Structure 1
Amino acid sequence: MTSEIDLDDFPILKLKHVHIKDKKHLLRTINTMLKDGSNSLQIVTDFDLTLTKQHVNGKKVLSSFGIFSKCKQLPETYAKESSRLYQKYRPIEIDPNLSVEIKTEAMTEWMIAAEEILKGIPFNPNEIPEISNMYEMYLRDGTKELLKKLHLAKVPVLVFSAGLGDIVEAILKSQGILFDNVKIISNFLKYEDGKLAGFQNERLIHVFNKNEHAIEQDYFKFLEGRKNVLLMGDTIGDASMVDGMMNDTCAVLKIGFLYDNVESSLASFMEKFDIVLVDDQTMQVPIDILQLLL
């Protein structure tokens, strides 16, 4: 880049649904990323309601766990109990009036309960790609385009999900975007004697402990020189996904997608993210920001 860009170069950032915390800081971050180039960039993104839409025509989309619950092999009792847990804990997760400590405790309880109701169910994993194909329309408009551009530019993408990794992997694979530059860290199913036995990782991943898992992953050893990060998420917990590697980063640009409880949640989102997109079911903002890099 021979000259620095300004907000006039990004008309999309002036739209009403786009909220920017600090315009000068944002421009400094973007200009640093552009100056350093794609060889210095990495992507860290959530999956559910981030790479996927938050709603389709006003109807909320299923999470990766929600999609899994549609598998025909699963007993009706599993679907009912999974739904009960969602109805109990999801309001806590998105309540802007609760502290992170209370939310963290609730999310831990949720994941432990979600693992317990899986155990002992006979299950053939061949159904997972089949059920995932039925929900391909859930990907955000532009998600495939963005991941293809990142692949061509050889930019590492970490999909950091508190959902069900098997579904995340199957959806990306079915859409032809599980490229060799994409790494998934999530909760993957464990099997014993043809039955579900919970999750593979001992420490279950939820939306408020992703940063702890990040520190433990060998993945970050391969990111030497990737000092600039574009982060995307849909909860305030997602904004902390790169906290474990902040000492090694130069510029971090955080984009938050907000749909639930907008009026009461916008302030807390603005504290955590550089850009907050209200009811934006596309990837157009990150695509426009990265267009000069990719």
Structure 2
Amino acid sequence: MPETPSPALAQIRETDRKGGPGHTVLVALAVAVPVTKLAYTVGGGDAVRDVLVGMEPANWPDILIGMVITDPLLGSVLGVVVSRVVFAVFAARGAVPLGGGTARAVRRAALTLVNPVAVGVIDACFFGPWWGLATGLAAFALRQGVVVEYRTGRRRPHHRHEQDRAAPGEPDYRPPSWLRRAAAVEQWVALSLTVLVLPFLAFVSAVDGQAWTGIVACEVTDGTRTENDRLIELSRKGDGVVGWNLDSEQISNGLGCTGEESRYVREPWWRS
């Protein structure tokens, strides 16, 4: 008779299959944080609607992307969390090879390494080699607990062959006590990063007073008057820029634009 998993095991397996708390947090942040960033940066109210219209729907994700690629700590923590959520989802669907043998061990190592390496390389391209190395190592470390729990049978893949269901995990696999403790600590660290650290960093970035994209100084014509104003670049039209005018607080078309080094629009929330 196939062994029926306990309610606790079934709940863990189902949680992994759906992405766990990480999936819920990521979706919530993807919606709430860009709107918060936009509202705090441009002042809220009608300004938010004007900016969204000026950006056009295809460019709305630029707010979140801009926040991630300009904040090394936020981008790195997000990379670690996404890496672990993706791995947990695929592990729950049977992607982690169980059992002994060189072939399975090599495949298991490759599946465990490939995503952290990719995350580390991407992070290094944006923020430098040390950020990339730290992010890759953290992403790798925070998936070891998942591997240990599936190999010991504490967690089971959602899809298993019928002949494998009677023996969850690897019956002969006995990890040392320190590895079991490390796996338990890893679960708490991953949960803390997902539900505490990542939301905190995201909302700090949202109210830091910096634009999510570059600020340019452009010649803006209003009727018969031409002035040199600062614009948050929203999109490009021909030879000019469509942006949020920080001086007149409206959408403007600018020509002859030059980029500014600073992206600060206003004081951070904690200094205002």
TM-score, normalised to structure 2, is: 0.28
Higher relative contact order (CA 8 A, sep 6+): 1
Which protein is richer in helix relative to its size?
2
Higher CA-based Rg: 2
TM-score, normalised to structure 1, is: 0.26
